[in-house]
Amino acid sequence: MAEGLERAPAEDVEPTVVGVSWAAVLAGAAASMALTLVLLSFGAGMGFTVVSPWGNSGVSATTFKIGTGLYFIVMAMLSSSIGGYLGGRLRTKWVGVHTTEVQFRDTAHGFLAWAVASVLGAVLLASPASTLLGHALGGATQGAASAANSGPMAGYVDTLLRPNDPSAQAQGQSDPRPEMVRLLTTDFRAGSDVNANDKAYIAKVVAARTGLSQADAEKRVNDVVTQAKSDLDAARKAAMQLAIWLALSLFIGAFSATLAAMEGGGVRDGTWGKKRYATVQSSLARN
């Protein structure tokens, strides 16, 4: 009996080759990020840039269309498929590993290539944005007067302070635009409307500056505030739509990367398409 036990088949030995080829994953991620950069540059040239509620700062909220979101999805599919295919094609061959395990590892390589490309891409895009923000803050500190006249609220303030009779505009008055910009910016940042005290003060400034009656000045203030609220609300909705499209493109990109990696791994091992062919042959032989 002891001799029979000694002759029992031994368990399968786990192959010593590691299950993840990080060189292949990083190569696929690098290719994916490079292609994403190319497609982003092309999209920027075609007008698919940052959504903004302001007139000359990126694509306005009114011009943001579904085509922009579809472009994000196509871009994710192309870049993720290339990265996933390279991640599966360039990995080392696993000898003695079951077919289903090989397929799982191939899909894992595609997913890892997509994940590395997504994380590194977000970091590399965030760093230049922070640098640009720092330069913008420094420039605003050096030129506060210029920034006050060219900020997002400057157009609304110009509408508020447009004189009813330009020839009768008072001479020697200090420019109230910087103060008005600060008031509107602070109020809209704190909430979705201008508080009653600020609105009454703004109406008085508009009446004194433009020559309008108090009633007409209050009407102009209400009209401009309503327009600003409408533009800001449209910008928020556009930003929500953009976030949804980006999330959808990420999911589709991950799926495309895993499928492409499975194909790349199958081509690497010479098994892509052969399993189905063998199944068809066996079924024909039985018939």
Q: What share of the chain is helix, strand, coil (3-state, %, to 5)?
A: 75, 0, 25
CA-CA-CA-CA torsion sign (58, 64, 66, 67): negative
DSSP code for 170? P
Q: Is the pLDDT reported for residue 80 higher than 70?
A: yes
Q: Give per-residue pLDDT as tens, 121-151.
A: 888 765 544 444 444 444 434 444 444 455 6
195: its two tokens = 């508080």
Q: Give per-residue pLDDT as tens, 228-281.
A: 888 888 878 877 887 888 899 999 999 999 999 999 888 887 877 665 444 434
Backbone angles phi, psi at 16, to 5 degrees: -80, -10
From the number of C-beta atoms within 10 Å of its C-beta (0-12, 13-18, 19+), residue 41 rates as: exposed
* Predicted pLDDT of residue 251: 94
Residues 6 or more apart from 71 whose CB is under 8 A from it?
Answer: 43, 46, 48
91 vs 25, 35, 256, CA distance in Å?
Answer: 8, 20, 18
Backbone angles phi, psi at 272, to 5 degrees: -70, 120
Q: In a 3-state reduction of DSSP, which class is residue 237?
A: helix
Under the banding of pLDDT at 50, 70 and 90, the label for residue 47 is: low
DSSP code for 194? -
* 25, 113 contact by CB (below 8 A): yes
pTM of the model: 0.63
Check residue 250 and give left, alpha or beta (phi > 0: left; psi -120 to 50: alpha). alpha
Q: Which residues pair with 60 in a beta bridge?
A: 52
Residue the block writes with tokens 């009454």: 200
C-alpha dihedral (75, 79, 82, 83), degrees to nearest 10 = -160
Q: Which residues pair with 59 in a beta bridge?
A: 51
DSSP result, 250-277: HHHHHHHHHHHHHHHHHHHHT-TTHHHH
A 10 A CB-CB count for 167 gives: 5
A 10 A CB-CB count for 226 gives: 11
Rounded-to-integer distance, Cα 57 and Cα 53, Å: 8
Question: What is the mean predicted confidence (pLDDT) over 5-30?
Answer: 70
* Predicted pLDDT of residue 134: 46
Question: What is the mean predicted confidence (pLDDT) over 81-97?
Answer: 87
Rounded-to-integer distance, Cα 97 and Cα 246, Å: 37
Residue the block writes with tokens 């109230």: 176
